[in-house]
Each structure stands twice: as C-alpha cells, then as structure tokens.
Amino acid sequence: MIPVKGFSGQKVAVLGLGRSGLAAARALRAGMAEPLCWDDNPAARERAEAEGLVCVDLRRNGAFEGVASLIVSPGIPHLYPEPNPVVAAALEAGVPVDNDIGLFFRSFAGSEWNSYDTPPRVIAVTGSNGKSTTAALIHHILTEAGREAQLAGNIGRGVLDIEPGGDGSVVVLELSSYQTELARALTPDVAVFTNLSPDHLDRHGGMGGYFAAKRRLFAEGGPDRAIIGVDEKEGAFLAGQLSEGPVDDRVIRISVSRKLTGPGWQVFARKGFLSEYRKGRQAGSIDLRQIKGLPGAHNHQNACAAYAACRALGLAPRVIEDALHSYPGLPHRSQIIAEADGVTYVNDSKATNVESALKALNAFKKIRWICGGLEKEGGLAALNAAADQVIKAYVIGREAAGFAMQLKAEAQVCTTMEEAVAQAMADAQSGETVLLAPAAASFDQYDNFEQRGEDFTAQVWQRLAE
C-alpha cells in the first residue's frame, strides 16, 4: 500500500467504493487522514464499513464542512454530460476534487529513496486503443529483464494498492481519460500516447475534450521521455508541442503506417519489422511476424510503444526482443484460446468499439466473425473496410438484426453467444479463424467485456471437448 501524504489529521471525502475508491480510502487512513466514504450502492457501503471505514451521506447539506478534498472514482462524471451532485456540491463549497491517480503521484516518493542507487521510475500509458496491451507488455519485458516491476491503474492492481518502490524498481500504469482528466498531480518519468480515436465523447464533451484529457498526462507533469504515436493528427500535434526541435530525443515518435525519418528518435513497424532509428542511424530491428502474442498491425504498434519505453529506461534491443517472444498476450485482447483441426479461435472481447474491432479484423484472414452488442454512437460503416477478410458474421446482442443490416459481409442473426459459437464452429474449415471482436459494449447481455469473453471461451472449449 502507498500511504497518502499531505492529509494527516484532515477529513477527506471518498465518492465511489469500487476497487479504486476502497484502495484510496485505505491509503488515506494509512496516511493518518480521516476518510469519509459514500457510495449510492448499499452493498458497497456495507463492504467499506466491514473494514472499519466510516460512511457518511455526502449528498446531505453541509456534508463538506471541514473537508479538505473529495476523491472521486473514475466512473463518476465530474463535468460532462452533467456533474454528479456530490461533485457539484464539493465544487460549490470550494473543496478540491481529485482521484486516486493524483493521490498516488503526490505520495509515491519517499525519504528512503535518498539511499537508493537508482530511484524508482513510473511509466504511464494512455491512448484510445492498445494501452492495456502496451502497459502489460512493458511490465512483461521489464520482469523478463530482471527488473522489479509492478502493473497498476486501469489494469492489474489499484494504484494505491501496490507496494512502495524499491531500488531501481518500475511502476507501469495504464491510465484512462477518466483518470488523466481529473488527477491533480501527473508526474510520470516516461509517458506513452498510443493513438486516438472517438470514444467516451459524451463524458468529455466531444473529441476536443477527449484529446485534452489525454494531453494532460504530458502537459501537467513534463515527463523525461514522451513516446507518442503519430499516425493520427492529434499525436503528431502533441509530439510537435512537446519537442524543442528535430534533434530533441526526449520525444520518441512511433508509427505503424510509415517509415519515420529525421535526426530524432523514432520507432516504427513496416511489413512486420520493427525498426529503431536514432540520430539518423538504425539502432535496432525486430521481426514481429512470428510473435504469436502480438498478431496484427495494432499489436505491432503496441510493440513499438513498449519497445520505446523500455529503451528509454536503458534496456538493450536484444533483451527486449527476447522478452517479446515470451509474451503470452492479455486475456480478451487478440487472445488465441484454442487451435483445433486447423481452425484458430481468438477472443478479442475487449474490442468494444469500431476502431479496435477493425484492427482485430485486419490482424487475421478468413474470419468467422462473432460480433454485436450494445452499439456505440458513430455507426458501423468503418467495419466494412475489412469485409473481404470476413467469410461470415455471426451477430449477437439484443439488437442483432439492426447490427447485421449495417454489415457488408454475409451476416447471420444469432442473438446469443451459445448459438453464434455453435454455428461458427460448425461452419469453420481448416485455415480459418473464429474471432470474437464485438465492436460494441457488452452491457446488453453481460456485466462487462471480461464476462463476454469468458462465455465465448467456455462455449468454444465445451464444443471442442464433445
């Protein structure tokens, strides 16, 4: 646990008692603060009270008298589309609003660092797609290289649940726009921006607000190294804002759409080969085509970002390459769950929007595609760019018929995962891939995308065992 600093003897309100909220309350208590907790869900309050935490209705008049700060969980809106009433009350009372990420950055450093040969480092990863894989991949590479590393934030453990940093250790954080937008402190040593595509626009008041939330990770803390995906205009703009000139190697540009040139520091992937160039000369090269845990151009972008982050910490290219070959992939993210009779079964339940689903479709050929769910704004037309790779789509979800009508590929309305998997497996032939890449949220049929992916995996294994 990272005890929170700066609030000893003060009252701090905590809104939302999920994983991050409970961790924040515990860490505040460990730092000698007095956390006042609230969640609209009675069961969440009961769990907190069972740990000896005090729950106070933050909705009542005068709830913020004598309160030093309000700590808000990521899922609770603080500005758009409308501020949560508790957040609005705190702002009206002049109480600062923060989150667990802000608490972490103000509390992580300790006096014991003065005796370390190498102070702990923090690598923070954000972006629209690929940030989970990139963060997990960086953590894997560091661990394989013998470095002490912890993975936290939007993946792994709650950021305040991790252990204090040891000599030469590294903390790898995956940070969503919800987390970067609100944190009052953001000071990573290395910051990574993977890419940007429309998502969570209602929460951020549009694309500009969404980009601004991501940009805060770089603008607020001034990382020593910034690794920026420049395949979208926003990334190219951000890299330009951060760089002092063409030779400024504090900015490492990455791409999977073109060769990057110039006297700076670049990492790019073309035709399955990763290349690193620095000061106009090639410094490293890796053949990514045979790495099973990283299929497709989108994962090659993740590999470029992870490679650049680890190079920024001084790891050698060959050490990174060896670790890439042992990377098993993340559950629900282009995860190969089975291979039988020449058919490959891939779980990419995390592909909850059109952009990420399109990347999954482009990573494989001869696809039996299971898709559908709670459709997001913007429509599905972009998916038709990969129609040639799809032999047939098997559509699930309560609105499966409407979803299927928007697809250029042949589509069959199945509604349930059980029917979709049964039909796809019955149709599949050697050399084909049965791919779950929903291009939609899971909430019409499942609690979360993990549960959807687990259902797909269970259905596949059940039929393979028959």
pLDDT at position 458, please? 97
Tokens of 219: 């603008």
- Whole-angstrom Cα distance, residue 311 to residue 318? 11
pTM: 0.85
| Backbone phi, psi, residue 406, to 5° | -90, -5
| Residue 7 CA: distances (Å) to CA of 31, 97, 321 | 7, 14, 44
Count of all residues that appear for the chain in the document: 466
Looking at the chain, the number of H-run helices and the number of E-run strands are: 15, 20
pLDDT, position 119: 95
Whole-angstrom CA distances from 184 to 7, 80, 97, 99, 265 are 15, 18, 8, 8, 30
- From the list 267, 322, 326, the residue with the least C-alpha distance to 293 is 326
Measured CA to CA, the distance from residue 41 to residue 48 in angstroms comes to 11
Q: What is the pLDDT of residue 420?
A: 97
Provide the token pair at 299. 């994962």
Contact predicate 14/21, CB 8 Å: yes
Backbone angles phi, psi at 312, to 5 degrees: -65, -25
pLDDT 10s digit of each residue in the chain, 466 long? 999 999 999 999 999 998 899 999 999 999 999 999 999 999 999 999 999 999 999 999 999 999 999 999 988 999 999 999 999 999 999 999 999 999 999 999 988 999 999 999 999 999 988 898 999 999 999 999 999 999 999 887 889 999 999 999 999 999 999 999 999 999 999 999 999 988 788 889 999 999 999 999 999 878 999 999 999 999 999 999 999 999 999 999 999 999 999 899 999 999 999 999 999 999 999 999 888 888 888 899 999 999 999 999 999 999 999 999 999 888 888 888 999 999 999 999 989 989 889 989 998 989 999 999 998 877 899 999 999 999 999 999 999 999 999 999 999 999 999 999 999 999 999 999 999 999 998 989 998 899 999 999 999 999 999 8
HSE-CB for 113 with a 13 A CA cutoff: 13
Cα separation of 383 and 355, whole Å?
Answer: 8
Q: Which residues are annotated as a binding site?
A: 127-133
Q: Which residues pair with 347 in a beta bridge?
A: 335, 436
Residue-level pLDDT at 456? 97
Q: What is the CB neighbour count within 10 angstroms for residue 68?
A: 16
Give the residue numbers of the binding site for ATP: 127-133
Domains assigned to the chain: 11-98 (3.40.50.720), 109-325 (3.40.1190.10), 335-465 (3.90.190.20)
**pLDDT computed for residue 258 by the predictor:** 93
* Amino acid in the structure at residue 219: A
Amino acid at 268: F
Residue 425: what pLDDT?
97
**403 phi/psi in degrees, rounded to 5:** -65, -45
In contact, 380 and 406? CB cutoff 8 Å? yes
Q: Which of 291, 427, 297, 289 lies closest to 368, judged by CA?
A: 427
Residue keyed to tokens 């609100």:
182
> What is the C-alpha to C-alpha distance for residues 78 and 89, in angstroms, rounded to an integer?
11
End-to-end CA distance of the chain: 46
Tokens for 244, please give them. 């002092």
Q: Give yes or no for a contact between 132 and 172, defined as CB atoms under 8 angstroms apart.
A: no
DSSP code string of 207-264? HHHHHHHHHHHHHTT--SEEEEE-SSHHHHHHHHHH-SSTT-TTEEEEESSS---SSS
